[in-house]
Amino acid sequence: MSEQTQTNELLTVHEVAESLRVDDTTVRRWIKQGVLEAIALPHRGLRQAYRIRRSILDALLTATAVAA
């Protein structure tokens, strides 16, 4: 997989939660509060489905590492 393809890769809420070691609910809360940018998918079930670009997650992790 090329680097460009990897940065455009879309991750689920669960995958992001695992990467950040938080609960899915926390990731959803961050999305609703505007802390984490996400793409909203067509809604079918009880919860809104989102996808987060890997580049957004990487930027968040980089910003956190620099701040620490």
Quickly name the fold that domain 3-67 has: Multidrug-efflux Transporter Regulator; Chain: A; Domain 2 (1.10.1660)
* Structural contact between residues 17 and 31, judged by C-beta atoms closer than 8 angstroms: no
Tens of pLDDT along the chain (68 residues)?
555 556 689 999 999 999 999 999 999 999 999 999 999 998 877 889 999 999 999 998 887 667 66
pLDDT at position 39, please? Answer: 96
Beta bridge pairs of residue 11: 52
C-alpha closest to that of 45 among 13, 23, 20, 21:
13
Give me the residue label for tokens 């695992």. 18
> Where do the structural domains in the chain lie, given as residue ranges?
3-67
